[in-house]
Amino acid sequence: MGAERMHAASAESTAIVDAVLDYSRRRMLAADVPLDKPQTPAELNRLVGATITDAGLGSQRALSVFEHILAPACLTTSHPLYLSFIPTAPTMAAIAFDLVVSASGLYGGSWLEGAGAVHAENEVLSFLAAEFGLPDTAGGVFVQGGTIGNLSALVAAREAAKAKLLEAGKELPRRWKIVCSVEAHSSNKSAAKVMDADVLLVPAGPDGVLRADAVREALAEHGDEICAVVATGGSTNFGIVDDIAGIAALKDEFDFWLHIDGAYGLTAMLAPEARGIFAGVERADSVIVDPHKWLFAPFDCCALIYRDPDAGRRAHTQHAEYLDTLTDGDDFSPSDYSIQLTRRPRGLPLWFSLATYGVTAYREAVSSTIALTKRIAAEIAARPELRLVRDPQLSVVVFERDGWERADYDRWSDELLDSQRAFVVPSSHAGRPNTRFAILNPLTTFEDLTGILDTMK
Ligand SMILES: Cc1ncc(COP(=O)(O)O)c(C=O)c1O
In this predicted structure, what is the pLDDT of residue 327? 81
pLDDT confidence band for 281 (50 / 70 / 90): very high
Atom 7 (ligand 1) nearest CA: 146
Could you please state the CATH topology (level 3) that the domain comprising 359-454 is classified under. Aspartate Aminotransferase, domain 1 (3.90.1150)
pLDDT confidence band for 189 (50 / 70 / 90): very high
Q: Does a cis peptide bond (omega within 30 degrees of 0) precede residue 98?
A: no
Q: What is the distance in A from the centroid of ligand 1 to the CA of 185?
A: 7
Amino acid identity, residue 186?
S
264 Cβ closer than 6 Å to some ligand 1 atom: yes
Q: Is the pLDDT of residue 152 over 90?
A: yes
Yes or no: say if 117 and 124 are a contact pair by the CB < 8 Å rule.
Answer: no
- How many whole angstroms separate alpha carbon 166 and alpha carbon 127? 35
Residues 38, 43, 45, 51, CA torsion sign = negative
User: End-to-end CA distance of the chain, in Å?
Assistant: 65
Greater model confidence, 145 or 319: 145
Annotated domain spans of the chain: 3-74, 106-357, 359-454
84 Cβ closer than 6 Å to some ligand 1 atom: no
In this predicted structure, what is the pLDDT of residue 1? 59
- How many whole angstroms separate alpha carbon 384 and alpha carbon 321? 69
Q: What is the distance in A from the centroid of ligand 1 to the CA of 323?
A: 31
pLDDT confidence band for 108 (50 / 70 / 90): very high
Pocket probe for ligand 1: among 181, 187, 287, 395, the residue whose CB has the most ligand atoms within 8 Å is 187
142 Cβ closer than 6 Å to some ligand 1 atom: no
In this predicted structure, what is the pLDDT of residue 319? 87
Yes or no: say if 149 and 300 are a contact pair by the CB < 8 Å rule.
Answer: no
Q: Is the pLDDT of residue 133 over 80?
A: yes
Helix (H) or strand (E) holding 296: none
In this predicted structure, what is the pLDDT of residue 324? 80
Atom 8 (ligand 1) nearest CA: 146
Three-state SS at 114: helix
pLDDT confidence band for 155 (50 / 70 / 90): very high
pTM: 0.97
Pick the CATH number of 106-357 from 3.30.200.20, 3.40.640.10, 3.40.50.720, 2.40.50.140: 3.40.640.10
Q: What is the pLDDT of residues 13-25, one digit of tens each?
A: 999 999 999 999 9
User: Could you tell me what percent of the chain has a pLDDT over 90?
Assistant: 96
- How many whole angstroms separate alpha carbon 48 and alpha carbon 73? 11
Q: What is the pLDDT of residues 290-347, one digit of tens each?
A: 999 999 999 999 999 999 999 999 999 988 888 888 888 889 999 999 999 999 999 9
Q: Mean pLDDT, to the nearest integer, of 151-161?
A: 98
Q: What is the pLDDT of residues 51-72, one digit of tens each?
A: 999 999 999 999 999 999 999 9
259 Cβ closer than 6 Å to some ligand 1 atom: no
Q: Mean pLDDT, to the nearest integer, of 28-47?
A: 96
